[in-house]
Amino acid sequence: MARVAALITPAELAEALAAGRPPVLLDVRWRLGGPPGREDYERGHLPGAVFVDLDTELAAPPGPRSGRHPLPDPADLQAVLRRAGVRENHPVVIYDTADGSVAARAWWLLRWAGHEPVAVLDGGYTAWVAEGWPVTTDEPRPEPGDLVVRPGALPVLDADQAAELARRGVLLDARAPERYRGDVEPVDPRAGHVPGARNAPFGQHVDGETGRWRSAEELRERFTALGVGDGDEVGAYCGSGVTACSVLLALEVAGLSTPERPAALYAGSWSHWSADPDRPAATGDQPG
């Protein structure tokens, strides 16, 4: 199964859709606090795209022992992806509204499940529309897929492993700086960050005006400034294990997460860490 580039432009996707064997399209638009992404999907989506819900289909039910967006049960994920028409060895393209921070979660899950040909639409639905490509309100009914979910193709960290990685490697916190510092915490039980983690806000991976991803060179320079080097052991977390996946995607685009040494996801993330009062929380703008 050939690995494809992690990002695809709207023009490249339009060309692929016009070819004889188009990719499967997944629409995963979502926003913290709602309204539901399906409402956006019903107002318009890429032709042939199937809506997949982040909260109910790309995550297991939340809980203090697992966080707000735990990894889905492999059998449940397989059923969701087969319903969407995902087939073995067949390319998949995923999009969200713009910056890829939610689409990256589905990208990571497919890769974790052992499916290599998957990419995120650069600039998402916003870029697609801005370039004048077609949209529709018609909902497709794809033929069921045959994907077999084989979990474990990418590494996952628990809380103890995340703490250890922060000491011996590089653990990146994808949240906004004010949440990393502990100035505010609007969602989870406590403020702060995992001691030793370095702040790598997911919003800085893209151009703030266009939502398009920065170049591999720009991303490499950014991660290098955070202390990530070739061959380093790297992991990422965020509030609930969603936007951290965009850090992992950015690391791959930058060439700093490779098949030989892939970066890891702390799936429970801060929502899991902060639920245990015995786990320490660092504050301020330094790793601690």
Which member of 120, 238, 253, 254 is catalytic? Answer: 238
Active site residue 238: yes
List % helix, strand, coil for the chain (3-state, nearest 5). Answer: 30, 15, 55
Single-letter residue type at 42: E
Contacts of the segment 87-91: beta carbons below 8 A, 24+ positions apart: 87/24, 87/145, 87/146, 87/147, 88/1, 88/115, 88/145, 88/146, 88/147, 88/148, 89/1, 89/117, 90/21, 90/23, 90/24, 90/117, 90/145, 91/4, 91/16, 91/23, 91/24, 91/117, 91/118, 91/119
Catalytic residues: 238
